[in-house]
Amino acid sequence: RQPVLSGRDIYYLSNELRDNGYPEKSVYAAKQCLFMPDMCLFDCWNAIVYNLYQYWLTDKNTAIEGIETITKFMKDHPMRGDVYHVLSALYEVIGDFESTINCCKLALDTIVEDVFDYGEVIEYSKILPAIYIFEHTKDNNEREKMLQHLNKYKDHKLVIDFMKNIKNGDH
């Protein structure tokens, strides 16, 4: 008799497959565990951000698959800001720039709880969305609002580099 793996077991298997050079198998496992009833929300978010994101970025078809998966997931679960960032990037792949901006704004509006306050969450939910909005709007008030927002993260390398580029006239 085959042992039955829990959603969490499959999630950790997906991580091991990713870390050991088996991206296709990792994606397959991550897709399997995402909607299993015994999955914790934190692991689901991480499966989306770390195990599925790069796969979904490969082309328009996989981006559409990612949008559909995250949209389905959102119906029953709260979202973390970095997952909105993933969704914004997928909308950008398919050329839906209005939805890209809307997801960036949702990422910025999502509260980052202390338990999630580690580098990638802040980068993906508070810094990259603000930079994207700044770069893709002609509204000077909105651009100024994004600069004020980024000032909260002025010691982060991405923000330091971004500000240098602005001073050099690259934006």
- Tens-digit pLDDT profile for residues 108-144: 999 876 555 556 788 899 999 999 999 999 999 999 9
pLDDT at 129: 97
C-alpha distances in Å from residue 45, one per residue of 30, 101, 111, 122: 11, 21, 15, 14
Which residues in the chain come in under a pLDDT of 50?
A: none
Alpha-carbon distance of 149 to 131, in angstroms, equals: 10
Q: Which of 117, 130, 119 is nearest to 156 (CA)?
A: 119
